[in-house]
Amino acid sequence: MTEKTARQATYQAQGAIGIVLVILLALLTALDAMAIDMYLPGMPMIAQTYGVSAGSVQQTLSVFLAGLALGQCLYGPLLERFGRRMPLMVGLVIFVAGSVGAALAPTLEWLLVARFAQAIGAAAGLVAPRAIVADLCDVKSSARIFSLLMQVMMVAPVLAPMMGGFLLEHGGWRGIFWVLAAFGGIGLVWSLVAIPNLWPRSGALR
């Protein structure tokens, strides 16, 4: 048994994960909701910045949702093939890069590309936490943590527009994307420290 699989077996034997890791997984789960809802108050200002219609700016939401759907399809096989940690790290890097690209976007077309990349990255925060919980927890603990993550997904869309409105007033719409990049960066560094390199249970001890 390698050190990697031995560490995973220890986590599985404990049947639960610590509160710090749960908070991290909640943050990762909320990334997509924050990226969707935080910038909504800034749409009129984005339209004014680029001299386009409100309908054109709404394409940034459609593109994000398309990227989020595609990303969720991609990460499932990647998490099975490469373990839980590396695809999550790659996704968070993409999320940060997309957020920075959106903050710096000189044109609406550039913003659309950045939003698509941001969504591909955010999808990792939706898929990976569920796999990590399933790997580390027994059935009872998994149900409790999944319930918590669902609550985060319900609360985040309520809080995100208020946060976006505050940031819009004090930093403009580009400031919203800088804050999203910061959230992604925090999640990336925290994940590097806190998340073990897990593999699916079925192959953990081969």
Cα 192 to chain centroid, rounded? 15
pLDDT surpasses 90 at 174: yes
Residue 171 tokens, joined: 């930093």
Q: What is the pLDDT confidence band of residue 206, given thresholds at 50, 70 and 90? A: very low
Q: What is the pLDDT of residues 22-38, one digit of tens each?
A: 888 888 989 999 999 99
For residue 204, the SS3 value is coil
At 155 the pLDDT is 85
pLDDT surpasses 60 at 96: yes
Average pLDDT over residues 164-175: 92
- The CATH class of 17-198 is mainly alpha
* pTM exceeds 0.95, yes or no: no
37/55 Cα distance (integer angstroms): 17
Closest CA to 38 of 91, 102, 88: 102
Average pLDDT over residues 135-145: 77
Closest CA to 28 of 144, 159, 122, 142: 122
At 17 the pLDDT is 61
Query: When comparing pLDDT for 50 and 14, which is higher?
Result: 50
Residue 176 tokens, joined: 């919203």
pLDDT surpasses 60 at 192: yes
The whole-chain average pLDDT of the chain stands at: 86
At 200 the pLDDT is 65
C-alpha torsion sign, points 153, 159, 164, 170: negative
At 31 the pLDDT is 92
pLDDT surpasses 70 at 75: yes
